[in-house]
A and B are shown apart, each in its own frame.
Chain A
Amino acid sequence: MNLDISRYSKTVVTLLILAAIAKALSLGSIYFLNKKGVSQEIDNSYTMPYKSYRFSKPFGIVDVVVKSEDIAKVNEPVYNLSSLELKAIYKTSKTGSDGGFIVALDNTKGKRSVFIKMLSEYNGYTLKELTNEKATFERNGKKYKLEFEKKKSSALLTEPIARPKSPKYSDDVIRAVSKSEVHKYTKDFKSIWKSISIKEVKQNGKIDGFKVTSIKQGTIFDKLGLRKDDIIMSVNNKPMKSYASAFKIYKDVKTMTSLKITVKRDNQIKDLEYEIY
């Protein structure tokens, strides 16, 4: 009996020693392991919803909102009027729409000086508009411009100016996009992927915008004026520094009334502004 007690106590002592060693080794291993977990930092700071506000509004000057379907008109072809050589422009108002005249040399008539008054007709061309740089004529619904220092021509010829290669839609207008069109994309996530591909741009290992790698013509992204190789730097003044910020825009776009996309294009920063109506 005495022998058994001694044997049990020996086993218990051995197990306790082993437990102590195991615990010591486990505690020692903590040194090599992380003592703190990883948490996702969430930006809970409140920021005012982005509103497009222009200082001209309180003075009654309201921006012209160009609807997406009207944008094509902005780029309608304008033709050079090369039979005349513009020498001077006289305007009676700032806009030149009320009155004024131009002095030009007619190349078809031995460089004879001619005076053309606003809204008057010359060789079938009606003078419609004057600016500091050019006079715009109209004939058969087509527009013709006459600028300073133009090439001389022997006949009354018109030559079309090459339309800009890209974009189809003008850059320098505030575009308007319908809410329903925006909602169509927010409801159908897959259609975004079909329309546009973007890739993160990294600087020093951190995301510094998203590059447009491809864009399908005719889609909303094309209409918005985004182009291939544009780098989207910020949306509504919020820098695009993570996928989370990009995803937040996707989630919040439903409630937005205006949108400003800042892109880097040909090493120049450009703002693309939209009204969502």
Chain B
Amino acid sequence: MKKLGVILAYTFAFIMMLLYFFPKIELYYTLEEFLKNKEIVFSDEKLKDKGFRLSSNDSKLYYRGVYGGDIENINLSTLLLYNSLSFKNAYLNSALAEILPKKIEYLDVTYAIYNPMNITIDGKGDIGKIDGYINPFSKLLHIELKVAKKEKTKYATLLRKFKPDEKGVLIYELRY
């Protein structure tokens, strides 16, 4: 039993070392290449490998070559049992202010062992509070948006695809 404990401890230590030494910057570049095929580009960012997480500061977001906005900070953590991608303070292009919210305070996308069936989404911005999940097994994206009345009129174009439930929460679902 003691021997099994020692083996488990060494295995855990090895996994942690693997995660620590894993080339996160190169992993990020690979992810960037994947996103490029979807015409999404993060440019001019300053990358920093912080051991168990990767931090990207001051990146510019482009979609189909059109400047979308600045993102102050992006954090990517891969701890095997807890993985997260979080965006902090995204300021979107003012030229698109009529259709998109100007600022997103934060947006966290998390995949953790305590909720193995879903990748959760949690965020807050000018438009309101965002909650949702992606179920990779049923290939479903579900987003719930709590929007103030004023914002509903302001972002009518963006919210056209959302449907309100009984509580007035706007819901968007996509099967991919």
**What is the interface of chain A, defined by CB distance below 8 A to chain B?**
14-15, 18-19, 21-23, 25-27, 29-30, 33-40, 188-190, 193, 242-245, 247, 250-251
Contacts and interface: CB of A to CB of B under 8 A. Distances in A.
A27 B18 CA distance: 10
Contacts of B32: 34, 37-38
B43 A34 contact: no
B17 A33 contact: no
A33 B14 contact: no
Contacts of B27: 33
Given A26-B22, A33-B26, A243 B98 contact: no
B29 A35 contact: yes
B3 interface: no
B66 A190 contact: no
Given A18-B13, A26-B18, A29-B26, 17 more contacts: A14-B10, A18-B10, A19-B21, A22-B18, A22-B20, A22-B21, A34-B33, A35-B26, A37-B28, A37-B29, A37-B45, A39-B43, A189-B95, A189-B96, A189-B98, A189-B99, A244-B65
B65 A242 contact: yes
Interface string B12-56: 011001101111001111101101100001111101000000000
B66 A22 contact: no
Contact of B21 (A26, A188, A193): A26
A21 B16 CA distance: 12
State the majority secondary structure of interface residues on A.
Answer: helix
A140 to B, nearest CB: 51
B96 A34 contact: no
B66 A247 contact: yes
B14 A18 contact: yes
A261 B60 CA distance: 31
12 contacts: A22-B21, A23-B21, A26-B21, A33-B30, A37-B47, A40-B43, A189-B96, A190-B98, A190-B99, A190-B156, A243-B64, A250-B95
A14 B10 CA distance: 8
B68 to A, nearest CB: 10
Q: What are the 10 A-B residue pairs with the smallest beta carbon separation, nearest first?
A: A244-B65, A22-B17, A33-B26, A34-B29, A243-B64, A26-B21, A40-B43, A38-B32, A189-B98, A242-B65
Nearest to A190: B157
B91 interface: no
B106 interface: no
Given A243-B64, A244-B66, A38 B41 contact: yes
B44 A25 contact: no
A30 to B, nearest CB: 5
